[in-house]
Amino acid sequence: MENAHVGRLLKLARSGRASRRQLLETGLRLGLASPVILSLIEAAPRTASAASSAPPAATEPAPAAAQETSSGAFTVLLTSGTEDIDPHYTYSEIASALALGVYEMLLILKGDSTDEFEPMLAESWEVSDDRSTYTFHLYPDVMFQDGTPANAQAVKDSYTRWIELGGSPVNVITRFCDSPDKMEVVDETTLRFNLGSPQPLFLSAMASSYGPMVISPTAIKENATADDPYAHEWAKQFAVGSGPYTLESNSVSEGMVLKRFDGYHKGWEGNHFDTIIFRVVPEDATRRQLLERGEADAASQNLSIDVVDQMRSEPNVQVIEYPTTYVRWAIMNSPRLLTKEVRQGFSYAYPYDDLINVVFKGMMKRSGPIPDNVRGYDPNVFLYQTDLEKAKQLILSGGFKEGEIFEYMADANEQTDQTIAQLFQANMQQMGFGLDIISVDYATVESTVYGDAPAEEKPHVIGGWGWWPDYNDPWNQLAPNFLKDQIGGGGSNGGAWVNERFEEIMAQAEHFESEEQLDTLMKEAQNILTEQDPPVIYVGQSINYTVLGKDIRGFVPNPLYLQSYNFYSMSREKA
């Protein structure tokens, strides 16, 4: 075994993919003799380098050959940073975008597909005939950015942390693999998952951008404490993965900086960005100016739709539009609205045409709860149309009277949500009802939805909500929002909606046996959620945009990796 370690380290040393410090630390950790370690160090080019577990104060310039083809820095504009970038704990979109540059999963979604995959840390995989056993073959000689091996044992240790830490995205793995005992290290580069029953969605889940990132177990161990055995407090701010970029700095108020990891196992041939800058710019007008002046390269979903519409004609930028799996809706408070007929009435009262054509300017298409690019979607799903006469009759049927005043909560800082609330208010007034718009910050909206307050203390409607799945699966889209065990305690069933037949359907769909069975179950589920017993008012499926500099090439948006970038494959076109 020692000879095998020496051979791999010698290969890394000669290729320049491991620094002298990494070779020293790894050799000592493996218990290699001092003369052997010295010979490895002598074999390494003096230019070889790799990042430490903490963000470095400075980075050595890239070799001259790399500088000739380098695309330099790529700057992404954000409205704010994030306090937690631990991929095993958070659902932050910013953390996810960063993770796809710093960390690797075993596999990743291919291009813009939601159900095709390509290698990441694993170069190949095998699935048993009954889809209960999954075997991954890792690329050999991969190193983490701290110089330790990214081998099968490291992946198991990292995923064990993911399971035991129990953060927000833990269900992505525990739905299929609920114990580290189901992970088997076959050899240095082979990891097998023995799941015990058919799990046809396991590959989809392991390609989610929420959870499956492989973190250096050594970095976790070195930063763990008695009170924090999984080093979550450290991982909230720092990162050590095996991806193409290392985290150099991280500030909630200023942003994050990533630097090229010279030891990245897929190499740096061709034209790549050396530096990725996430820059926090809270002001809308400033973000627009920076993009138009060429002082920033990208922004996703943080400009107004009117501004994006105007920027289509700007010569210095390109506006990329693409479908997503995000469905937008407004939550109805089931106990306070009394009956399903009243909720049907509210659904008929919503101003759909104005929302699609005026508010979103076509950047939204009508849908039910499941988007059209996710399994189980019903192309004939029932969609409400605005009908104020029918709406009024249904609302009155629940015991409400003309002049009744309802409450509608909306994000005070999101103009789109405020406009929707005002349009809905006008429709309610036309029917003889009042609508009191409660404008609050988004943190209050979140705490109202996720919190444990009883329904009587929540407004009749909470606007500006919505969801997209962690991976291509309708159960994963619907369960967090509409199952009764998601009422309070951090669940997203903020309207306290319960339907027993829906519960039965979802219990079967969680472990479906065939696509045909899933389609049948989901067709009934979608009809319950729309025509029969609506828990929310469905606005539609979002069409996202990313504004890029005119010279940026290689960007491929994925409907599940929202507001993220495929940094390693992107470049700047040479003048």
Q: Is residue 533 part of a domain?
A: yes
At 325-338, the pLDDT tens digits run 999 999 999 999 99
Residue at 489: amino acid letter: G
Shared-domain flag, residues 22 and 131: no
| Model pLDDT, residue 56 | 33
CATH number at residue 171: 3.90.76.10
Residues 536 and 304 sit within 8 Å (Cβ to Cβ): no
| Model pLDDT, residue 395 | 98
At 148-178, the pLDDT tens digits run 999 999 999 999 999 999 999 999 999 999 9
CATH number at residue 349: 3.10.105.10
Any idea of the CA torsion for 89, 91, 92, 93, to the nearest 10 degrees?
130
pLDDT cut 90: percent of the chain above it: 84
Shared-domain flag, residues 178 and 34: no
Any idea of the CA torsion for 153, 158, 163, 168, to the nearest 10 degrees?
-160
Q: Is residue 393 part of a domain?
A: yes
Shared-domain flag, residues 33 and 109: no
Domain that holds residue 20: 2-43
pTM of the entire predicted model: 0.84
At 53-112, the pLDDT tens digits run 333 333 444 444 444 578 899 999 999 899 999 999 999 999 999 999 999 999 999 999
Shared-domain flag, residues 228 and 345: no
Shared-domain flag, residues 420 and 508: yes
| Model pLDDT, residue 1 | 43
Q: Is residue 295 part of a domain?
A: no
Residue 145 to residues 19, 21, 52, 364, 495, Cα–Cα distance (Å):
10, 12, 7, 41, 45
Q: Is residue 48 part of a domain?
A: no
| Model pLDDT, residue 18 | 52
Would you give the DSSP letter of residue 62?
P
What confidence tier does 32 reach under pLDDT thresholds 50, 70, 90?
A: low
Shared-domain flag, residues 108 and 39: no
Shared-domain flag, residues 514 and 382: yes
Shared-domain flag, residues 397 and 504: yes
Separation between Cα atoms, residue 522 and residue 519, nearest integer Å: 5
pLDDT at 424 over 90: yes
As a whole number of angstroms, the longest Cα–Cα distance in the chain is 90
Shared-domain flag, residues 354 and 447: yes
| Model pLDDT, residue 413 | 85
Q: Which residue has the higher pLDDT, 157 or 42?
A: 157
Last residue of one domain, picked from the residues 214, 235, 256? 235
What's the total number of domains in the chain? Answer: 3
Q: Which residue has the higher pLDDT, 89 or 21?
A: 89
Give the count of beta carbons closer than 10 Å to the beta carbon of residue 61: 11
* Average pLDDT value over all residues in the chain: 90
What confidence tier does 2 reach under pLDDT thresholds 50, 70, 90?
A: very low
Backbone angles phi, psi at 80, to 5 degrees: -165, 165
Shared-domain flag, residues 25 and 114: no
